[in-house]
Each structure stands twice: as structure tokens, then as C-alpha cells.
Structure 1
């Protein structure tokens, strides 16, 4: 399974996709060990921001660089000719749907399907004990499923599958309907319905906001893809 980051995405400096030469899909135990090992490596990392680091592509990738600039230009052209969605538009989204504002556009998606939901639930439960509650693990995180994130500077509003904050940045859990504090870690469980949004516009939003770690989980291929936003490198 060969996974490549799309043009314009945050620079991929780490990828962890479990492999098995004799089977198409890796074993669940191997994937679980990979997930836990990757999350352990986040301990002690600093939250980094910086637009310059968000817009990097692999060295020598002329095609990727051209696609990045074309995407930015087209986005600006489109945004200049349409009315941008606001947070008030989210109030009209039916409770049976998921409403997001992505680069000025109101995006309404169906609720996740069963496999998608199960993958997100299992991952959240797998990380909750050791990393949120500190049971047989280091603790130090708040991990939430499907919180609404509002990036006030850009006007974007996203609902990732799983999100986490270091407690050194968010010492207590606030009683709020949405979060404006940029998270340290986000995980999207990809599906056919949300793939185009997850792997392109939402990646740009996360990068501009300064989300340091972005994971993609593919529940069908049982693959894990990791992106890290690195300041100045």
C-alpha cells in the first residue's frame, strides 16, 4: 500500500503504514502497536505554528509546487466571487448531518457509516486509557470524539473524527459548544464521502491554523498515515 500526500498538504515527514508481504491487509495487532508507538512519540513535542512550514512540499517536487500555487490561486479566485459562509449558517444544518465551513464554503455531509464510526470509536477508546486517563500510560492529553473546532481568524469550522489537546495547553475541559483553541493532534477517518475534503481543503485549514499532527486512518485498508507540521524545516 503506497500512500502519497496530496499537493498543497502539510509536508509529510513521517509515514507509518503497517505492511504484510503475505496478506493484503495488516493484522489489527500490528496496526494497534503502530498507533500506540506513534502516539507515544508525540509526548514532549512542542506545539509549532508557522505558515511557512505549512506550505512545504518535498524537495525537488516541481510538480507539487506548481499544483500548490495553482490551488492557492484558484481558491482565491473562487473566494472572491462568492458569498462566504458564516457560523450562523451552521445553525440551519439538520442534526442528522455534519456541517462544516471549509475555506468559506458550507459543507454538509451525512453522518459516518458503520465501519467509519467503529474505526473512530475503537481508536478513541484505544487512546483514552493510556493518554487521556493515564491508565497504563503517560496521560497528559484531553481526547475528544467529533468536537467542533472554530478557527476564528479564518472563519473555518471543522468537525474531525478525533481530536486531542495537551493538558499543558488546555489544563481543564471547558464547558463550551465548540473549541477555538487549536488542537495539537487531529485524526480523520477517511471514507469515500469525505475523502476529497479531508485530503485537500481540510488539510490546508489545519496547516494554516497550526495543527501540529494530522493522522489519517483508513478502516478498509487498515492503514495509518501520519503528517507533522514542522516549523521552519
Structure 2
């Protein structure tokens, strides 16, 4: 169900996909150590056969094409400056400050902002394949620039950064879950060969009473991303 939700490539649907996947994985990890090899193999086969679901790149491209594309067209088709401002009034008004009031904005100026926002989305798309640390630095520079240059981008873009962080967390959790299935089936001897997509080697591993813990080098909001497999213990 989660993957089907994300297939429309709308950002909110994709975030719901991630949330449902995390919930299901959290439940299943508590049962892995009670499953035999046949059931673990069946679970792996089921995971491999899931629909592709949505992607953050496709969702950003959709927003760029539909949202920014619509705004550019609406401004271009406006009869005059007043109508152009009215069309995007909430965004323009939110961008105004005491230090930088916007008592009058021309259609030409709005068009320049929107053209810049289109380019900003294109720049964001290039950051998606960067490592979290590299992306964070470049994302900060992009935010600083748009706050100074483009009121439209300053309002629209800030929410996209956290979406990248959630995407990375989802990538790590899915990789951890697949690794947990392998360990539950074959034992801890398989740990060294299970690569962390956000580290230089394998996942971290620790046995616990009734199960084990796996963790990635990825941190999400100050905490490492991990899975507790089997009975929930505080080991």
C-alpha cells in the first residue's frame, strides 16, 4: 500500500510512503528472530517484489514542473502588474519584511524570481546524489543565497531540505531491515558483508537479550539510525 501511495510522485504522498514503511518495518523487526529460514526467504522475496514506489527526485521534478511552471504561466498571462501580484499575493506578502518591504512588485520582477526558482529546483536536483554532509553544506549556501536574492524561492524551498534527510533515513532503514533478515537467517557471521550505504564498511552490530541491534553511520536529527531486532531490550 505504501509503495502505491508514492507512485503518484507527489511529495506528501512520498512522505506518507516513508512513514508507513517505517511503521511496518518496526513491527516486523520484533518478529524476525521467531521466523524460520523458509519464512525469512519468503519475506525477502516479498520485499524484492514490491512496487517501485515514488522517488524524491521525481517528486521534486513534479513540483518544479507543476507548481513553478503554473506560477510562471499565471504571471505571464496576467493583464497587468496588479493581477500578477494578486495571483501570487500570499507568497509575495510573506516575503516582505520591514527591512525589505515590497510596496510594488512588477510582473517582470516576479517573472525573474520564478525563473530563478526554476533554476533553484534544478540546483537542488543536483544535490540529491551528494553525501549528507556535502549536501548539507551546499544546501545551506543555497538557502543563504535565495534569502538575499529571491523572495519566492525563500518561501518555497526551505521545506525541501528536511525531505532529503527523511529520504536518507528511509534508505538506511530499508537497508538495515534487509540486513537484519540475512542475520536472522544465517547468523552474525554475515555482518561483515552487509554494507552500510552511509558508511565506509558494514553496519554496526550488537547482540541483545532475545535479538540484536543494527545501526548505520547515518544520523537523523542528532541520533544514529538503528533497528532493534527481536525482543526490545535496553542492552
More strand by share: 1
Tell me: higher relative CO, structure 1 or 2? Use CA pairs within 8 A at least 6 residues apart. Answer: 1
TM norm structure 2: 0.26
Q: Which of structures 1 and 2 has the bigger CA Rg?
A: 2
